[in-house]
Every structure is written in C-alpha cells, then in structure tokens.
Amino acid sequence: MRFSDTLRIDWTRMIFPHARRCFGPGEGRSHFGIAATRTPQGYAARLKRVVVIASSLLLGAPASALACAVCGFVGTASNTWAYQAMTAVLSLLPLAMIGGIVWWLARLAARADTAPRRTTDRVVGPATLRGSDTPGFSTGVDVAFDALVQNTSPTRRDPRPMGSSVTAG
Amino acid sequence: MTTWDQTVRAVRPVARREVVSSGLLGMVIFVGTEVMFFAGLLSAFTISKAGAPVFEWNFPAGQVLPLTETAVNTLALFASGALVWVAGRQHRAGASSATQTLLAATLLGALFVMLQGREWVGLIAGGVTLSSSALAAFFYVIVGTHAVHALAALIGLGVAWWRLRSGRLSRGFLLGAQTFWFFVVLIWPVIYARVYF
C-alpha cells in the first residue's frame, strides 16, 4: 500500500466503532453496526472497562508524568528525585506561606483583643483604616530589645504600672 | 446630622482596631509572590543540575565561582539585615541614632551589590557569558535577578533614610522597606547554597 492510498481510507469508520464498543452508550441500539443495551448493568460494565483501561495506562506508562518544560535530561534517578522534590517544594511552599500569613494575622488580632484599650482607640470604618499605629513585627525578641535599649517596652502604651489588670475592651 | 462615626458605632458597638497596616500586609503578600518566583528559578536549576552530566555542568575555560569572596559578601549582607532590624527598633523607640544605623545598613547592602558586580566583571572577563553553558545561564539569571531585587530594596532603604533624616518617615513605609530588605537578605543564603555549591 502506498502512502497516498492511506489518505483515501476512512480511518474514523475503522477506529470509531471499536472505541464506541468500549466507551459508547452501551448495548440496546444499533449504531455503526454495534448492538447495545441501555441497562444499568451495561453502564456498570462500561464504567468497569473504562477504569480498567485507564488504570492499565497509568500503571504501564508512569514515565509520561515526568514530562515538563525543564526535563531535558529525564531518565536519570537523580533527576527524577529532583523533579519530585521540587514538585513537593513548589506545592507546599505557597500553602505554608498562606498559612503563615493567616497565623501571623490571627496572632496580631488575638494580641489586639487582649491588649488594654487606649484612649486614642476609636471605632474605625473601612475608609479610615489607613494610617493608624500597628504592632508590625513585634516579637518576644523585639520586646526584649526595647527593654534593653530604653529600660521599658515602647509597645506598652498603658500608663498604668506593670502587672495591673488587663481586660479586653 | 449623623456622622460616619456615629453610624458605624450604631452598627458595630464593639470598637475595632487595625492590627496591621495595609501597606505592610501588601508588602508581605508581594514578598510571597517573589518567594515563589525564586522558587521556580531554583527548581528549574535543581532539576537541570541533577540530570546534567557532570562534565557538562561547569563554566567554560576552567572558570570557577569565587566561593570565599561571596561568603564575605554574604556576611556583609547579613550585617546589613541586622542593622535594618536595629534601625527599626530604634525608630520605634524614637532614638535619633536610627538615622545612622539605617545609613550604615544601606551602605553595607550597596557594598554587597558592588562586590557581586565585581565578581561578575571577573567572570565576564574570563569568558563566562550568558550563552557559555547552562550553568552560566542559570547563574546570571538567578544571581542577576537577586541583584535587581537588592537594588530595588536599597532604593527603598535610601528613601526611608532620607525621610527619616527629614523627619517625614512613616511607620508603614519603614516596615515595608524593612520587609523587602529582609526578603532580599534571607533568600540569598538559599541561592548561595544552591548555585555556588
């Protein structure tokens, strides 16, 4: 057979009936010469075939999952390890950062809830949230450093002596 | 006439306090995207290095990266980051010495960038260019990108120093500049460990 002959073959009519046999609507009607039945058992059998074929493909050709834009040297063990490690890093890093930001904000909010009300505190609306004082990166180390520099904590704005009762407002 | 505060007070009887400025939160989120950017670059570098033959993963003409000199640069960068942190604490405490500390931190950061530039000049003079090899391409892209970020952060620190000197520095601006500089300082050891070794 010459190559030009292959162009005249209706490949869809040769291949498609077999595909419909596996993935089609099931037995019960005649289409492309395939008898089918539309019964629950037919759908279950079709689903089972799909699962078996897909599982076989995934088990038989796992190397295709390593295809990526930078894997010009796919095939070595160290490259495979690096690919999987970097996939884990790139997957977990954003989650860790988002979790860290949420934890940081929750800690600041909890600290603000337990801190004593200042006389300068006021009810703020969405349009007036800008420009007020903020604890920022205050940590235990920061507070210790402040105490070292000026023998008192600048983050403590309550004029009452240390140890007095602190209530959330 | 009902004012805005009165209206809000009626709707929300419990007072709310701002726990973090919008500028600082925006900078933190921006730094998060920058971390992912560098993670992508280092990921490509790691995978390519792991799969490349050893004899192909080097610079041309026997050139090697100056590990010792770069380690000294790294120390200067760490010192700069520590001084920026101290300057922030001094500014919060109202100490006038914050101006000198911030200037010293900025100069140390500039020294790091200049020494890295000197390293680049030596490599380019030795024939190492962007198209020399895969390692050279990765080196110039990753380290060069970090240098661009360092320059941007230095500009931010310089503006903060100028405003602090003239008494116009806001707390939010300093926190934003600090955050970006801390990112530049802390991402460098990762780059140094991955690319130089």
Model confidence pLDDT, tens digit, residues A31-52: 444 444 566 677 788 888 889 8
- Put simply, whether A133 touches B (Cβ < 8 Å) is yes
- Put simply, whether A126 touches B (Cβ < 8 Å) is no
- Put simply, whether A88 touches B (Cβ < 8 Å) is no
Q: Which residues of B touch A (CB under 8 A)?
A: 4-5, 8-9, 12, 15-22, 24-25, 28-29, 32, 35-36, 39-40, 43-44, 46-52, 86, 88-90, 92-95, 170-172, 175, 178-179
- Quick one: which H or E segment has residue B192? helix B171-195
Residue B51's pLDDT band, with cuts at 50, 70 and 90, is: confident
Looking at per-residue confidence, does B52 or A161 come out higher? Answer: B52
Dist CA A70 CA A152 (whole Å): 55
CA of A134 to nearest chain B CA: how many angstroms apart?
Answer: 5
Sign of the four-CA dihedral A45, A46, A49, A55? negative
Report whether A101 contacts B33 (CB < 8 A).
Answer: no
| Beta carbons within 8 Å of B186's beta carbon, 6+ residues apart | B81
pLDDT of residue B31: 96
What counts of helices (H) and strands (E) characterise chain B?
6, 0
Residue B133 pLDDT > 80: yes
Dist CA B88 CA B101 (whole Å): 9
Listed ranges A37-41, B32-36, B125-129; the one with the highest mean pLDDT = B32-36
Half-sphere exposure of A115 (CA within 13 A, CB side): 22
Residues of chain B in contact with residue A71, where contact means CB-CB under 8 angstroms, are 47, 51
CA of A123 to nearest chain B CA: how many angstroms apart?
Answer: 5
Pairs of CB atoms within 8 A across A/B: 128
Among the partner-chain residues A75, A123, A130, the one whose CB lies closest to the CB of B5 is A123
CB contact under 8 A, B16 and A124: yes
SS3 call for A32: coil
Q: Any idea what DSSP says for residue B20?
A: S
- Of A70-84, A114-128, B11-25, the one with minimum mean pLDDT is A114-128
Listed ranges A60-69, A107-116, A136-145, B170-179; the one with the highest mean pLDDT = B170-179
Residues of chain B in contact with residue A72, where contact means CB-CB under 8 angstroms, are 48, 51
Report whether A8 contacts A21 (CB < 8 A).
Answer: no
Over residues B168-186, mean pLDDT: 94
Residues of chain B in contact with residue A142, where contact means CB-CB under 8 angstroms, are 89
Conformational region of residue A2, where left means phi above 0, alpha means psi within -120 to 50, and beta covers everything else: beta
CA of A58 to nearest chain B CA: how many angstroms apart?
Answer: 23
Among the partner-chain residues B5, B50, B89, the one whose CB lies closest to the CB of A78 is B50
CB contact under 8 A, A82 and B51: yes
